[in-house]
Structure 1
Amino acid sequence: MGAADHNMILPRIRQLDEGAVNRIAAGEVVERPASAVKELVENALDAQATRIRIDIADGGRTLIRVTDDGHGIDAGDLPLALCRHATSKIDGSDLLNIHSFGFRGEALPSLGAVGRLTISSRAAGSDGAATIHVSGGRIDAVKPAALRGGTVVELCDLFHATPARLKFLKTERSETMAVTDAIKRLAMAEPGVAFTLCDTSQGGDRVLFRADTAASLSDRLTNVLGRDFGANCLPIDAERDGVRLTGQAGLPTFSRGNAVHQYLFVNGRPVRDRMLTGALRGAYMDVLSKNRHAVAALFVTCDPTLVDCNVHPAKTEVRFRDPGLVRGLIVSGLRHALAQAGHRASTTVADATLGAMTPERPAAPVYQMDHASIGARGAAYTAQMPGFAEAPSARLDDAVEETSGTPPETLPLGAARAQMHENWILSQTETGMIIVDAHAAHERLVYEKLKAQMRDHGIRAQALLIPEVIEVGAVADRLLELDLTKLGLALDAFGPGTIAVRETPAILGNCSAKALIRDLVEELEDDDHAEPLSLQSKLDAILSRMACHGSVRTGRRMSAPEMNALLREMEATPHSGQCNHGRPTYVELKMTDIERLFGRS
């Protein structure tokens, strides 16, 4: 070791001052204005507030004010509230038994370290209110204040003490949207609390979001997420081994192109957890294509000791003691609800259809008679057109009534009246008309039959007279490893990268073995999944591809009994409201909507 090494000055370890520690901690807790709003509103909820008002200016940069009617803070505790790791919510003896939003005691000191923070509060039963101010970590003395009750926390000039952080903020509009999203998530978790979010920029008082006290969770979700959500979602309520799943999940045809409309909560706390989102995607795998995302608001409730919410200072990540149990509950609970929905499709499909039509408005209302009953209309038509009784549609009605004993128009999907362009079935109902995509609908029906056969006794196979040899490349080994005999496929190795197909599923009829295998190869090569698929999921994905080869082809003319048989089977089959890729299989137009298109209302 040389002299230079002996003379080298080593850096000394030193204790950082309290202000630096708080600014460092603020970097984890307060990422942007929305983070600050979330922490302050959660404090208000922990104080058992029933009404919370949030005012922001410039996206929260210059002002964040949270006013609540909670139990307040005693004047003597205000200085302590600004000290790190000081909290009234836990005693520190058990960090796995958390019943409140906050518990780390970091939010207020962190906010006071990077902005100008003022807390005014009046504790329940106290003689008066008090206020305390902190700026850049410097705390002023407690002073008397005028306040009837509750707490007002005002944060001005966020990040003024750490101006470099301001450069990382987005536009005012983006930050305002982030704040709104944070409030909406908390409002969903607390339907018994009223929330108001206002923008006070430039001296205004514009209401950005408002949610009055709701009688139920479903009412609150409809209020926050809109009427379309309430009309196109399924109630979820499942329980397993002390873990309960509640909330609402959207129909597959109500899906979106991104995952921003997925809201997940654990014991009332909004979270962003990859395991939970993966379970949600897995539940919809059977009914949605990979580029579509379900809409859902799901609430997992369990004993606090079964989940660790102390993973990150922001408390948006959680770890479950038994993640497999929670994942299984989500998948099974959602799939059961989707199966119960039957052939139901979202109302927004019809809205989009009507939106594509732009009728001309008449100058004056058009006279129209009242609607006659179905029987009266049928009799009138027969009288006006004597040959009507011999027409195909009349024979169609007779065929349906003979088999069901029910007037066809009263059935959910009505009675088929015509087929357009060798694919689209036009059906008449009591209240309007339905347009069915015959190929997509039959594809779903075949898929469900294939799954049922595989589950019960395996899919029946039909032998090919001459085995078909197909080159598939490197995926040949994966195909052979899957053992597809239970799917009605018998494959043998036939040299490097080549297989021989000996049997195909009988339900598919005279299908092209080469086209079928090509589809299966494409499915296996598609690795665009959020997480590895289980063997059952892989088999279901393969069945979905196979179903397309056994479905009614576009361009095939269907007879009236065939069309009605398809409608009746749709009514009796789960998930038939959407094809295997999440697209709607039918569109329903109400009579009032059709009349509006023609200016008759």
Structure 2
Amino acid sequence: MPIRKLPTHLVNQIAAGEVVERPASIVKELVENSLDAGSRRIRVEVEKGGSRRIRVSDDGGGIVADELALALHSHATSKIGSLEELEGVATMGFRGEALPSIASVSRLRLASRPADADTGYEVEAEGGESSEPRPTGMPHGTVVDVRDLFYNTPARRKFMRTERTEFGHIDEVVRRLALARMDVDFELAHDGRSIRRLLPASDEAGRDRRVASVCGDEFLAQAISFDTDHAGMRLAGWIARPSFSRSQSDLQFFFVNGRLVRDRLVAHAVRQAYRDVLFHGRHPAFVLMLELDPARVDVNVHPQKTEVRFRDGRLVHDFLFSTIHSRLSGTRPGSRATAPASLPHRGDNVHELAAGQGRHQAGLGLGVAESVARYAELARTASAVPSAQQDNETDMPPLGFAVAQIHGVFVLAENAHGLVVVDMHAAHERIVYERLKQSWGEDRVRSQRLLVPEKIAVSRREAMALESHVDEMSRLGFEVDLAGPEAVLIRAVPGMLARADSQKLVRDVLADLVELGDSRRVETVIDEMLSTMACHGSVRANRRLNIDEMNALLRDMERTERADQCNHGRPTWVQLDMKSLDKLFLRGQ
């Protein structure tokens, strides 16, 4: 076939294959246009899951009559005009493809009225042909009405799912955009019935309500909120405690300058931050909002703009990791990150570890015996204090004082709020693990030379990464030399991992360096070994503790980082306040 220029209508239909994946894609593009127009109220109306009709109306700046028809032409946009503006684009859309692509596979009506105009104007498009603008009565803002999606491309229509499934995707899009712009009023209706209304949030309480309406009340109850900045970047949001882990990544929202994106670098940073507190196979839940100079991030790397590329990915990765890691480190009794006393931790969504018989192992930093003498006198003093004084929140530790042990498994304590139940093994496992990490800190960088150096084959990219990160490999305890363009020689490995598979470990580290410019693979392997040691070295079920030992355990929990959960993400303690206890026994009813 000879080379020829494709008709405009066919070009738009090809573009529609990238932009219009399903009805939810149309909602995303149209709502993003409304946000770019400065809208404060957006209403989305859907019929038959979007296959029959999608109508998006807003109160934004509107489009003047002379530009209305131009908005339906390919690559016609008001958002960028030069390469410099493209490199620092701050709007949600910028390519000028959405409206013409949508119009090529549907019957579209576009009506708009700027705030200073006396009347609105509308145009209609069908099959690639558009009408001349004509006057119409309407309030200021813009309305885009899309009917009979894929009516002229039946092959695409066959791939649409059921009405319920397609509407579910639309609802998900609206929820995600509502998280990105909490200052905007969103309304979603399906078949004439209002399904979701999200009022604008102007304060912290309003933002919490918006997050709870999208992610659920339980997520908000178990979430740690924060707002921090570093090196010209700002990170704010909510991260769920490990006990609220999920079986899938359905509650993970990451926004860059208000744009919802998926990014491997971000996923890796979050996964590494949770590695000490989350069991393998579980997924954390979070809502993270990163703000930085638009010139430092490239949003023009994906047709649907769902991926970005950071100009300094290593800095972003470290900022995310350190921020989330430090917040999770503060999850201990009495800290600001600890859940409210009236809200018990939920452990029913994580796997249960079998608590077997065991013995007390010496030399692993158990900490119970060494703390008994220190807190025995304090516990005896507290027991002699009248109960009215014990209820004083300022005089009592966060976990209170022990009163009993149940079946050698749970410790019961009384604090200012009511009853505390502690999983003895899970709590002590976290204490031992954190102490082991501190005691083994120096061994993380010690190397042990191999008797016979090992030669392994690598790719050229991995060899180049090794050449650029020699100091990084040395810091991790490796001594690795190039033995050719596609081979390396392993001469030394971290001392603690001398018996590990050194070839696999080096390959994994080099793969991380190629993708991320950094690797925490060694730390992860060492931490897994220490976690196993902590599990075996902790007090086991059916081991009887006296009151002094129980109080020593409680005090150690209050001083230990991440003490709210064990190494596998299980909660170590729950709080039952007096209101909850009264409810159990119908007191006052």
TM bracket (short chain): 0.7 to 0.9
* Shift in Å, 1:224: 3.0
In the alignment, structure 1 residue 416 sits paired with structure 2 residue 402: yes
Taking structure 1 as reference, are residues 556 and 272 closer, same or farther at Cα in structure 2, changes over 3 Å only? Answer: same
Q: After superposition, give the CA deviation of every residue in 1:470-524 in whole Å (9 maximum; x if it has no partner).
A: xxxxxxx9x9965345xxx9x789xxx9xxxxxxxxxxxxxxxxxxxxxxx9xx9
Give 1:98 shift: 0.2
In structure 2, do the counterparts of structure 1 residues 109 and 286 end up closer, same or farther at CA, with 3 Å as the change threshold?
Answer: same
Q: Counterpart in 2 of 1:206?
A: 194
Q: Report the Cα distance in structure 2 between the residues aligned to 1:400 and 1:277, rounded to whole angstroms.
A: 47
Change (3 A) 1:225 1:211: farther
Question: Is residue 2:94 matched to residue 1:103?
Answer: yes
Deviation at 1:237, TM superposition (A): 2.5
Separation (CA, whole Å) in 2 of partners of 1:581 and 1:557:
24
Q: Which secondary structure does the structure 2 equivalent of 1:350 belong to?
A: coil
Report the Cα distance in structure 1 between the residues aligned to 2:235 and 2:116, rounded to whole angstroms: 39
- Amino acid in the other structure paired with 1:208: R
CA offset at residue 209 of structure 1? Answer: 4.1
Cα deviation for residue 208 of structure 1 reads 2.9
> Match for residue 179 of structure 2?
188
SS at match of 1:563: helix
Partner of 1:79: 69
Shift of 1:123: 1.5
Paired position in structure 1 for 2:169: 178
C-alpha distance in 2 between matches for 1:136 and 1:153:
16
Counterpart of 1:538 in structure 2 is: 525
- Change in Cα spacing, 1:120 to 1:433, as seen in structure 2 (3 Å) is same
Larger CA deviation: 530-539 vs 297-306 = 530-539
Measure the CA separation in 1 of the matches of 2:581 and 2:159: 51
Matches within 5 A, 1:124-203: 124-199=115-190, 201=191
Deviations 1:530-583 (A, max 9, x none): 997522222222222221121111121111111111111111111101000111
Match of 1:565 among 531, 552, 557: 552
Contact 1:287 1:582 in 2 (8 A): yes
Work out the CA distance in 2 between the residues paired with 1:165 and 1:396.
Answer: 73
Of 560, 564, 572, which residue of structure 2 is paired with 1:585? 572
Give the secondary-structure state (helix, strand or coil) at the position aligned to 2:33.
Answer: helix
Deviation at 1:396, TM superposition (A): 8.8
Matched, 1:433 2:419: yes
Contact 2:36 2:92 in 1 (8 A): yes
In the TM superposition, residue 111 of structure 1 has moved relative to its aligned partner by: 0.5
Shift in Å at residue 445 of structure 1? Answer: 0.4
**Alignment pair present for 1:277 and 2:267:** yes
**Distance 1:407-1:482 versus aligned 2 partners, 3 A rule:** farther
Q: Does the Cα contact within 8 Å between 2:108 and 2:124 map onto a contact in 1?
A: yes
Instruction: Pick one of 344, 349, 352 that aligns with 1:350.
Output: 344
Q: Which residue of 2 aligns with 1:112?
A: 103
- One-letter amino acid of the structure 1 residue matched with residue 151 of structure 2: H
Question: Counterpart of 1:564 in 2: which secondary structure?
Answer: helix
User: Does the Cα contact within 8 Å between 1:71 and 1:123 map onto a contact in 2?
Assistant: yes
Structure 1 residue 43 corresponds to structure 2 residue 33: yes
The equivalent residue for 2:471 is: none
Residue 446 (1) aligns with residue 432 (2): yes
TM (norm. structure 1) is 0.77
Moved more, 275-284 or 67-76: 275-284
Whole-Å separation in 1 of the counterparts to 2:8 and 2:60: 30
Say which SS state the counterpart of residue 198 (structure 1) adopts: strand
Whole-Å Cα distance in 1 between the matches of residues 491 and 289 of structure 2?
A: 41
- Unpaired runs of 5+ residues, structure 1, are 1-10, 356-393, 460-476, 498-520
- Residues 396 and 595 (structure 1 numbering): CA distance in 2 closer, same or farther, change over 3 Å? farther
Read off the aligned partner of 1:37 and give its amino acid letter.
V
Show the 5 A alignment for 1:25-40.
25-40=15-30
Report the Cα offset of residue 429 of structure 1. Answer: 2.1
Deviations 1:325-375 (A, max 9, x none): 1111000000111122323665798375899xxxxxxxxxxxxxxxxxxxx
Gaps of 5+ in 2: 350-375, 445-477, 479-489
Q: Which residue of 1 aligns with 2:276?
A: 286
The 2-side partners of 1:328 and 1:289 are apart by: 22
Q: Which residue of 2 aligns with 1:483?
A: 494
Q: What is the Cα-based RMSD across aligned positions, in Å?
A: 3.2
**Shift >4 Å, 4+ stretches:** 216-219, 344-349, 351-355, 394-397, 399-403, 406-409, 479-482, 530-533
Separation of aligned partners in 1, 2:33 and 2:129: 22
Aligned match of 1:318 in 302, 308, 315? 308
3-state secondary structure, aligned to 2:326: helix
Secondary structure in 2 aligned to 1:234? strand
* In structure 2, C-alpha distance between the alignment counterparts of 1:438 and 1:144, rounded to whole Å: 74
Structure 1 residues 209 and 292: CA distance shift in structure 2, 3 A: farther
Q: How far is 1:223 from its partner?
A: 4.0
Task: For residues 28-77 of structure 1, give each alpha carbon's deviation from its aligned partner in whole angstroms, at most 9, with x where no partner exists.
Answer: 01111111001000000000011111111111111111110001001110
CA separation of 1:395 and 1:312: change in aligned 2, threshold 3 A: closer
5 Å-filtered alignment, 1:332-343, equals 332-343=322-333
Question: One-letter code of the match for 1:150?
Answer: G
1:232 maps onto 2:243 in alignment: no
Contact 1:345 1:584 in 2 (8 A): no
Greater C-alpha Rg: 1
Length, aligned pairs only: 497
**CA distance in structure 2 between the aligned counterparts of 1:147 and 1:121, rounded to whole angstroms:** 8
**What amino acid is the match of 1:483?**
P
Give the match for residue 599 of structure 1. Answer: 586
Aligned-partner Cα distance in 1 for 2:282–2:226: 21
Q: What is the percentage of aligned positions where both structures have the same residue?
A: 43
User: CA 1:351 to 1:173, structure 2 compared with 1: closer, same or farther past 3 Å?
Assistant: farther
Give yes or no for contact 1:253–1:345 (8 Å, CA) kept in 2. no
Seen in structure 2, the aligned counterparts of structure 1 residues 452 and 35 have a Cα distance that, compared at 3 Å, is same
- 1:391 matched residue in structure 2: none
Superposition deviation, residue 239 in structure 1? 2.7
Return closer, same or farther for 1:109/1:336 CA change in 2, 3 Å cut-off: same
Matches within 5 A, 1:363-442: 397-398=379-380, 407=390, 410-442=396-428
Alignment of 1:479-518 (within 5 A): 482-485=493-496
- Within 1, Cα distance between the matches of 2:404 and 2:328? 30
1:50 aligned partner, one-letter code: R
Structure 2 CA distance for partners of 1:396 and 1:560, relative to 1, 3 Å: farther
2:250 corresponds to which of 260, 263, 275 = 260
Query: Counterparts of 1:208 and 1:58 in 2: how far apart (Å)?
Result: 17
Give 2:203's aligned residue.
215
CA distance in 2, matches of 1:492, 1:173: 54
Q: Which residue of 1 aligns with 2:78?
A: 88
